[in-house]
């Protein structure tokens, strides 16, 4: 069985309905999956939408006092009965028929975790952006999964730490199909759950999840539609919200550093690389802000206390080396600022 975990908070009915319809359109037998919806105390309960889907799917709704997405996902995990877990944000959706072939691919290759591609979609036609993990084709059909009925692995399976040594992780838990055993197996110590009451809780969770995986792989197949919704948490640009985000970045970064120290006796080169790239991501985000000079300085000073600034020397990639070089002097930082602003346009 696979458990689809959906979180929602003050979503318009059509968004949640679209999400749930996409799950029931996966071609799975009713008894082979469940849908767990957790509402983070919306103004209007989505119970009426859940009732619409009850006749055709094993679906349950849980309502929690407002505690953000991490707490909602943790609550869902308490009730999940599936061997496999697939997270879906309530304003996103899955492409029709996408999950069944991915699940088959994961089981046939005895994987703990399979990571796959996604597309960014908006409200207007033509706003789809292709984000395969290691794209090898220029073709993409935005209206379905038709191009990928028979997905294949990009390479043989490997440990999560080995994977992180060569790949960047997208900071979302929704583009991975994984075994629930990864979360609860005592071989890894305490059960893995989301840190609650912060933003970007995905960054910590997905890093630790991937590190736990002994057999993981990626595929070019695109199964997930990541909806770019104006007014969402990701697009909230108020100064107060931005300040809180940066505080949360460092909360997560420090927790990952503590985790690295806990597993120092085990392979962790990939984890180290992830931490260093996350530090660079914080600096990149600082460059995108109107007050970028001040925010860069404050971020750099905090990274200095964590031995992550100046950026550690490493031969990860030419982009890493170039960023490290440019970050050392003011003219270089102005160049980086220009590059980051261009990418936002």
Range of the domain at 106: 2-234
Q: Does residue 262 share a domain with residue 208?
A: no
Q: Examine the pLDDT at 264 and tell me if it is beyond 60.
A: yes
Cis ω before 310 (30° cut-off from 0): yes
Q: What is the pLDDT of residue 123?
A: 72
CA separation (Å) from 15 to 58, 100, 123, 227, 296?
Answer: 20, 23, 11, 10, 37
Q: Does residue 29 share a domain with residue 147?
A: yes
Q: What is the pLDDT of residue 285?
A: 96
CATH of the domain at 195: 3.90.550.10
Q: Does residue 55 share a domain with residue 29?
A: yes
CA separation (Å) from 86 to 64, 141, 174?
Answer: 20, 22, 7
Residues 6+ apart with CB under 8 A from 319: none
Q: Does residue 118 share a domain with residue 267?
A: no
Q: Examine the pLDDT at 93 and tell me if it is beyond 50.
A: yes
Beta bridge partners, 38, equal 7, 62
Q: Does residue 122 share a domain with residue 24?
A: yes
The last residue of one of the domains, among 182, 217, 234, is 234
The last residue of one of the domains, among 186, 209, 234, is 234
Q: What is the pLDDT of residue 189?
A: 86
Q: Integer distance in angstroms from the first to the last C-alpha of the chain?
A: 43
Q: Does residue 187 share a domain with residue 289?
A: no
Residue with tokens 């925010």: 295
Beta bridge partners, 34, equal 3
Q: What is the mean pLDDT of residues 100-104?
A: 95
Q: Examine the pLDDT at 31 and tell me if it is beyond 60.
A: yes
CB atoms within 10 A of CB 272: 18
Q: Does residue 276 share a domain with residue 157?
A: no
Q: Does residue 121 share a domain with residue 202?
A: yes
Q: Does residue 150 share a domain with residue 43?
A: yes
Q: Does residue 300 share a domain with residue 334?
A: yes
Q: What is the pLDDT of residue 90?
A: 97
The last residue of one of the domains, among 186, 212, 234, is 234
Q: Does residue 214 share a domain with residue 254?
A: no
Q: What is the pLDDT of residue 229?
A: 66
Q: How far apart, in whole angstroms, are the C-alpha atoms of residue 284 and residue 298?
A: 13
**Structural domains of the chain, count:** 2
Q: Does residue 210 share a domain with residue 311?
A: no
Over residues 214-256, the pLDDT tens digits come to: 999 999 999 999 998 665 555 556 899 999 999 999 999 999 9
């Amino acid at each position: 069985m696979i458990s689809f975990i959906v979180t929602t908070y003050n979503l318009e009915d059509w968004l949640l309905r679209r999400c749930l319809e996409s799950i029931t359109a996966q071609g799975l037998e009713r008894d082979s999956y469940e849908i767990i919806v957790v509402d983070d105390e919306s103004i209007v309960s989505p119970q009426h939408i859940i009732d619409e889907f009850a006749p055709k799917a094993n679906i349950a709704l849980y309502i929690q006092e407002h505690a953000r997405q991490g707490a909602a996902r943790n609550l869902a995990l308490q009730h999940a009965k599936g061997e496999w877990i697939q997270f879906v944000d309530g304003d996103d959706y899955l492409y029709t028929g996408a999950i069944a072939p991915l699940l088959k691919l994961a089981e046939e290759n005895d994987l703990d975790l399979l990571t796959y591609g996604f597309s960014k979609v908006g409200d207007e036609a033509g706003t789809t952006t292709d984000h395969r993990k290691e794209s090898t084709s220029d073709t993409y059909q935005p209206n379905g999964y038709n191009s990928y009925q028979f997905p294949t692995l990009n390479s043989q399976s490997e440990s999560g730490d080995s994977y992180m040594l060569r790949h960047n992780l997208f900071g979302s838990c929704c583009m991975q199909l994984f075994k629930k055993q990864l979360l609860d197996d005592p071989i890894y110590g305490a059960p893995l759950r989301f840190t609650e009451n912060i933003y970007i809780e995905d960054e910590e969770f997905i890093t630790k999840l991937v590190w736990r995986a002994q057999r993981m792989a990626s595929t070019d197949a695109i199964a997930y539609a990541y909806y770019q919704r104006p007014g969402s948490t990701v697009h909230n640009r108020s100064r107060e919200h931005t300040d809180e985000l940066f505080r949360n970045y460092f909360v997560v970064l420090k927790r990952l550093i503590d985790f690295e120290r806990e597993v120092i006796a085990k392979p962790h080169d990939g984890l180290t690389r992830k931490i260093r790239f996350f530090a660079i991501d914080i600096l990149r985000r600082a460059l995108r802000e109107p007050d970028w000079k001040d925010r860069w300085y404050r971020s750099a000073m905090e990274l200095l206390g964590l031995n992550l600034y100046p950026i550690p020397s490493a031969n990860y990639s030419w982009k890493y080396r170039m960023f490290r070089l440019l970050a050392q002097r003011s003219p270089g930082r102005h160049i980086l600022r220009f590059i980051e602003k261009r990418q936002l346009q």
